[in-house]
Amino acid sequence: MNEIEAAIQDKVRSLLEAEKIQFFIGYEKGSDPIHSAPCFVKEPKDVERLVWDPFCAHNLVTFIIDEKKRELPRGEEPDSRPIGLLVKGCDSKAMIQLMSENKIAREEVYIIGVCCNGVIDSTKLEKILTEKSIDFEALAESDIQVDKDSVVIKYKKEKVSIAKKRVLLDKCPDCMSPNTLVYDDLLGDSVEPADSRDYTSVEEIEALSLDKRWEFWKKLLTRCIRCSACRNICPICYCKECAVDSAHQVITPKTTYQEKANKGTWIEQTVDLPENLFFHLTRMLHMAGRCINCGECERVCPMNIPLSLLTRKLEKEVKELFGYEPGKDVDAKPLMSTFEEDDPGDFIK
Amino acid sequence: MSEFEPKIVAFLCKWCSSAGADLAGVSRLEYKPNVIPIRVMCSGRVDPLFVLKALKEGADGVLVSGCHPGDCHYVQGNMFARRRFIILKKLLEFVGIHPDRFQVSWVSASEGTKFTKVIDDVVESVKALGPQTKFKKVGIDE
Amino acid sequence: MTSSNKTKQECYVIKKDAVKAFLDSLSDYTLHAPVREDETILFKEIKNTDDIIYDFSNAVKAPKDVVMPQTETMLTITKGGKDSLVVEEPESPDKSVVFGIRPCDAKGIALLDQIFYEDKQDTYYVQRRENTTIIALACNDPHRNCFCTSVGGAPNGKAGCDLLFTDIGDAYFVEVVTSKGKKLITNKKLFKSISEADKKAKNAAHKEATRKLGDALDLKNFPEKLEKMFGEEFWEKYALKCIGCGACAYMCPTCYCFDINDIDYKDVVKRVRTWDSCQFGNYTMHTSGHNPRPNKVNRVRNRVLHKFKYHVDNYNEIKCVGCGRCTTHCPVNMNLKAIIKELAEKEL
């Protein structure tokens, strides 16, 4: 057990024993040695399940939104105590963004912040392990650490060192906020943030011709199966009714087939390129000036669509056009509900 | 085969651009008949979803037109719209859809001549691009 | 259904370098096979047989869409005249061959057969199914999340297969399972008779694969046990981290829920069937606005119960083939096998 893990467990135990929080959301061991999973702890005795390792990728802020959406069973009174939450640096930007949108109040969440050296992309690691023919069973008793420049895997007297960029999630190498920005307790040593964001991947696409760009996205978006994992994992997507779900419409015997066919749907359930494109563009438009680039949508996509290219593009444009960075300032007005006289308008005839 | 005639959906704000269209009409100014006008209360009312939906339903191009900055009947509706549309435009370009498929203009109620020019320009530029197929619903028939 | 036309076991061997010639000879059929797109393994319609990959664990998504496409037009309604409408059914599907499907996914299709053949036959499904020939590729190196042996399958299971290929080094051992599969074996130059050594190699490969899967779970009385567990509080423990996406259901070889929508294409209205998932909140939403499964705990429980209880009640078979995809691709790493294990071992 590492120091931070022990500190988390101690803190959570004392919080639960003092009944200061409803429950705590952290991470536990996942289905195999290269995954961790979100973990809900309600009883002090379960605190031992909590871990802190380089596979703690999930943005747990999502679950606060999720909890807010939960329908209370009849007769149950809402609990006014805060929910305990483990928050990494990048995730804390989501927290700030939600606070600035008045979606979450600060006192609703007890935040244990943790300074983070970067989290490992399990898919990348799996590929490297296969290349190096390292058995998964061998990793069961392993020690995997992320240090300043590399990821070090120690198992059975063996030691493997892998360059950070090859194995961390794409959001990590140029992370500008490795230290939690808003917290009640902060664990771990402060980590030096990157100097600047790296937009090379976005610029590579921008440099392509329109047709090439279209071919690129066409291939990727045809693959999309619209499982909604990207939308549902997103901490910033909190609408109860989503624009891309079929709207609720009361159907009576008098409802005509045209009315049924034309019911208020922006998007059809059919899965094909235009609908998929509509889905992803709509999601991005609703994310403009709000997406904090936690990269969760890309991580969870079962079809491996590099969605963070879109979110990074959005981040870049918002920064260049309006000098705005979401998730930075609780008091900042949301980008789309404010304007400046001298906003760029050259595109308008 | 007849020449390709693009279909343009134009969202016109009630107070300026739509009135501008009326002025063009009563002044007997001619402009291209390819436009399907949809009157909205303000350019700020135009959700980017409208634009995407129009493209999906088979429009070859979309025009949004509202009051000049500072002239908005609701004081600042068009200013919010401006922010939204630039993001939309950048995103459409990023996925490989030609920027001319979606255009924005400011036309005031007194600018009948400008209105005809804007429409003609939009029609011409979209005509040069040819039919819009990328975003069009699969199975939609002409 | 495939069970009726079983033939006496016929076996062949085909050299690995002859497989391409065999697949090329199937020009009357639409061929679906695994390809690698970027880093993602997918079943796709094959234009060029060079694209096919043979060295893979399993595709990200089960190839059930060959028989049950994610989007399927059921009928088209067009205006006939002034007051009449013309309703047209889609053309019957092409004959197709799926090559390289794993035995678990083939069994998944056999389980879908139960749903779409019993009581009333689902024309759309039946047409596709009758026109599809399945060439499975036995699993020699199961993924770490696989557990087919726990749910009545095997890495070399024949359920749902028409032909079963097993990798035995430089050749494939071919077992003919149905007469439909036999029809594909026309060129005897490619398919040679087997030797004792081939048979041994095949059996050794199957045995090794089964060994790699480890101990099977004991799920003998599990369905009855689950019945008593419906109201238990522990479901919440599993469900809390669920985010309610459809990744598990859409990847799953046996999930078959669908939604039907009428879609307006100006002068044409199409009735379209699309996949749906019981993990979506809207799945059970009533027109009145009431939702009988309002929270994710109800939905997660439903998924487990449907697979391990309701389907067993109706068809006497577990509706899970143990491919492990829901665990591999779950955004929050929900581990179905672990849940089943924990529940099966739980004292009531």
Q: Interface pTM (ipTM) of the complex? A: 0.93
Q: Which residues does A183 contact at the CB level (< 8 Å), separation at least 6?
A: A87, A92, A111, A112, A113
Reported as a single tens digit per residue, the pLDDT across A189-234 is 899 898 899 999 999 999 999 999 999 999 999 999 999 999 999 9
Per run of 10 residues, the mean pLDDT along chain C (length 348 residues) is 54 92 92 92 92 91 92 90 87 91 95 89 92 94 91 92 93 93 88 91 93 89 88 86 93 94 83 92 78 89 94 92 93 92 86
For chain B, the domain total comes to 1
For chain B, residues with pLDDT lower than 50 are: 141-142
Instruction: Write down the residue that tokens 């796709």 correspond to.
Output: C44
List CB contacts (< 8 A) between C266 and chain B: 57-58, 140-141
Query: Within a domain: residue C147?
Result: yes
Closest Cα of chain B to A241: distance in Å? 15
> Which residues numbered 136-155 in A keep a CB inside 8 Å of some CB on C?
136
Alpha carbons A133 and A126: distance in angstroms, whole number: 10
Count of pairs with CB atoms under 8 A, one residue in B, one in C? 13
Contact B137 C265 (CB under 8 A): yes
Q: What is the CATH number of the domain that holds B49?
A: 3.40.50
Q: What sign has the CA pseudo-torsion C185, C190, C191, C193?
A: positive
Give the residue on C whose Cα is nearest the Cα of B140. Answer: C265
Q: What is the CATH number of the domain that holds C187?
A: 3.40.640
Contact A243 B90 (CB under 8 A): no
Domain that holds residue A124: 120-168
Give the residue on C whose Cα is nearest the Cα of B141. Answer: C265
List CB contacts (< 8 A) between C245 and chain A: 227-229, 231-233, 300
Interchain CB contact of B58 with C (< 8 Å): yes
Reported as a single tens digit per residue, the pLDDT across C290-304 is 788 888 899 999 999
Query: Within a domain: residue C65?
Result: yes
Contact B134 A339 (CB under 8 A): no
Query: Within a domain: residue C3?
Result: no
For chain C, the domain total comes to 2
The pLDDT assigned to A242 comes to 81
Query: Within a domain: residue A308?
Result: no
**DSSP output for A233-294:** H-SS---SS-TTSPPP----TT--HHHHHTSS-SS-S--SHHHHHHHHHHHHHHHTTT----
Query: Within a domain: residue A220?
Result: no
Neighbours of chain A (3+ CB pairs under 8 A): B, C
The pLDDT assigned to A260 comes to 62
Neighbours of chain B (3+ CB pairs under 8 A): A, C
Interchain CB contact of C74 with A (< 8 Å): no
Query: Within a domain: residue A16?
Result: no
Quick one: tokens of C213?
């899967």
Statement to judge: residues C99 and C227 lie in one domain? no
Query: Within a domain: residue B134?
Result: no
Q: What sign has the CA pseudo-torsion C291, C296, C298, C299?
A: positive
Statement to judge: residues C143 and C60 lie in one domain? yes
Statement to judge: residues C204 and C235 lie in one domain? no
The pLDDT assigned to C2 comes to 45
Q: Which residues does C93 contact at the CB level (< 8 Å), separation at least 6?
A: C127, C128, C131
Statement to judge: residues C176 and C227 lie in one domain? no
List CB contacts (< 8 A) between B79 and chain A: 339, 341, 343
User: Which helix (H) or strand (E) element contains residue B101?
Assistant: none
The pLDDT assigned to C3 comes to 46
Statement to judge: residues C162 and C232 lie in one domain? no
Statement to judge: residues C334 and C278 lie in one domain? yes
Query: Within a domain: residue C1?
Result: no
- Residue C51 in contact with residue C240, Cβ under 8 Å? no
Rounded to 5 degrees, φ, ψ at C40 are -105, 130
Statement to judge: residues C118 and C185 lie in one domain? yes
Give the residue on A whose Cα is nearest the Cα of B121. Answer: A349
Chain C residues in contact with chain B using a Cβ-Cβ cutoff of 8 Å: 73, 265-268, 270
Q: Which of A210, A285, A289 is nearest residue B96 as measured by Cβ atoms?
A: A210
Query: Within a domain: residue C249?
Result: yes
Interchain CB contact of B53 with C (< 8 Å): no
Alpha carbons B44 and B64: distance in angstroms, whole number: 10
Q: Which of A40, A245, A303 is nearest residue C60 as measured by Cβ atoms?
A: A303
Query: Within a domain: residue A138?
Result: yes
Query: Within a domain: residue A153?
Result: yes
Closest Cα of chain B to C74: distance in Å? 14
For chain A, the domain total comes to 1
Query: Within a domain: residue C191?
Result: yes
Query: Within a domain: residue C2?
Result: no
Angle (CA) A316-A318-A319 rounded to 5° is 65
List CB contacts (< 8 A) between B140 and chain C: 265-266
Q: Which of A215, A274, A343 is nearest residue B83 as measured by Cβ atoms?
A: A343
Domain that holds residue C328: 222-345
Contact A339 B94 (CB under 8 A): no
Alpha carbons C102 and C160: distance in angstroms, whole number: 10
Contact A270 C277 (CB under 8 A): no
Contact A216 B96 (CB under 8 A): yes
Domain that holds residue B104: 8-129
The pLDDT assigned to A262 comes to 63
Closest Cα of chain C to B7: distance in Å? 15
The pLDDT assigned to C1 comes to 44
Statement to judge: residues C156 and C262 lie in one domain? no
Provide the greatest CA pair distance for chain A.
Answer: 75
Query: Within a domain: residue B140?
Result: no
Statement to judge: residues C247 and C312 lie in one domain? yes
Query: Within a domain: residue C217?
Result: no
Contact A271 C70 (CB under 8 A): yes
One pLDDT digit (tens) per residue for chain A, 349 residues? 688 999 999 999 999 999 999 999 999 999 888 899 999 999 999 999 999 999 999 999 999 998 888 878 788 888 889 999 999 999 999 999 999 999 999 999 999 999 998 999 999 998 888 888 887 777 877 888 888 888 888 888 888 888 888 999 999 999 999 999 999 999 998 998 988 999 999 999 999 999 999 999 999 999 999 999 999 999 999 887 788 876 555 556 677 777 666 666 788 888 999 999 999 999 999 999 999 999 999 999 999 999 999 999 999 999 999 999 999 999 999 999 999 988 898 888 8
